[in-house]
Amino acid sequence: MENQTIGPGSLGSGTKIVVESDTCPSAAAVEQFHAAMRILTGKWKGEILWRLGQGTLRFGELRRSIPGITQHMLTTQLRDLEAHGLVRRTIYPEVPPRVEYELTPSARDLGTVFREIRVWSDRHAASLNLAG
């Protein structure tokens, strides 16, 4: 199937939809993929998402569960993930304040992606020089 542009039709105001083939994604699809990867990549984001995939955690619990991450870096990464709608922060009006972090539904949808990465890494651990 070749890339096709579908005209305005019922979507109104000159909106066009680009239908792409599996072999030749549109420029918009490539840019969208790159934007998604920028949101998800970084030294700690995958680890944070993986840990929160196990359930809701308080800041201190999350920090202790990720060896080597600094408080500043965890705060920065959580704010970025929250700004992109992947993490929800809940502040409870207590003294001292209790703050909990959890995945949003869109981040939960990444669960299948993380499972596939784990399967891939298990399958190719030897060739990737991964410690078992």
pLDDT tens readout for residues 74-103: 999 999 999 999 999 999 999 988 999 999
> Which residue is it, tokens 């072999």?
23
* DSSP for residue 104: -
Helices (H) and strands (E) in the chain, counts: 6, 5
The architecture that CATH gives domain 43-132 is Orthogonal Bundle (1.10)
CA separation for the pair 132, 130 (Å, rounded): 6
104 is written with which tokens?
């949003």
* DSSP for residue 101: E
CA separation for the pair 39, 113 (Å, rounded): 15
Per-residue model confidence (pLDDT) at position 11: 45
The domains of the chain are located at 1-41, 43-132
Residues 6+ apart with CB under 8 A from 19: 1, 3, 4, 5, 6
Q: Is the pLDDT of residue 14 over 80?
A: no
Per-residue model confidence (pLDDT) at position 101: 98
Bridge partners of 88?
102
Name which residue leads in pLDDT, 18 or 36.
36
Mean pLDDT of 22-38: 82
pTM above 0.85, yes or no: no
Mean pLDDT of 36-46: 88
Q: What percent of the chain has pLDDT over 90?
A: 51
Per-residue model confidence (pLDDT) at position 128: 87
| Residue among 98, 70, 104 nearest 85 (CA) | 104
Per-residue model confidence (pLDDT) at position 37: 86
